[in-house]
Amino acid sequence: MLYHFSRHFLAMIRALGFQGHNNMSNLNTIELKAFVPAKDFEISKQFYLDLGFTKASGSAGIAYFNYGNCSFLLQDFYEKVFAENLIMHLLVEDIASWHEAVKSSGVEEKYGITLSEISEQPWGMLDFVLYDPSGVLWRFGQNVQA
């Protein structure tokens, strides 16, 4: 079924004259951000502030958070299945420092969440995980030097 759809989609695109990115003058990208759901928008905003993120802006139902060059949009929207299947991955330079910072932030006690220990993954990363108050899994990772 997917193959059938893909074949027809490509045929339609070709019929419209699109032959790939070579016809485009500027396909540079700026950034990619995820929309992270919030079961309780106010609690989630405070959670990310407590983790050390900066709330750069916000309007009705959306808050823009960043830490350094990494950012995401927190939305006042919650769908349990979506939230519990979303994984955010934050690549960091020093996993031990991040783990200590999260531990000392008090989010475990304040929000009733569990912070895992740092572990080495078979895909070549050291990481730890935590779930935000809405059930979104956050994986903090550092590349392992070969």
- Nearest Cα residue to 113 out of 62, 63, 43: 43
Is 101 among the domain residues? yes
Domain that holds residue 45: 30-143
> Is pLDDT larger for residue 48 or for residue 26?
48
Is 20 among the domain residues? no
Report the C-alpha gap between 115 and 102 in whole angstroms.
8
Residue 8: both structure tokens together: 């027809």
Question: Which CATH number does the domain housing residue 45 bear?
Answer: 3.10.180.10
Is 96 among the domain residues? yes
Asked whether residue 23 carries a pLDDT value surpassing 80, the answer given is no
Is 25 among the domain residues? no
Split into its structural domains, the chain has a count of 1
pLDDT in tens, 55-100: 999 998 999 999 999 999 999 999 999 999 999 999 999 999 999 9
Is 58 among the domain residues? yes
Report the C-alpha gap between 128 and 115 in whole angstroms.
7
Is 118 among the domain residues? yes
Is 7 among the domain residues? no
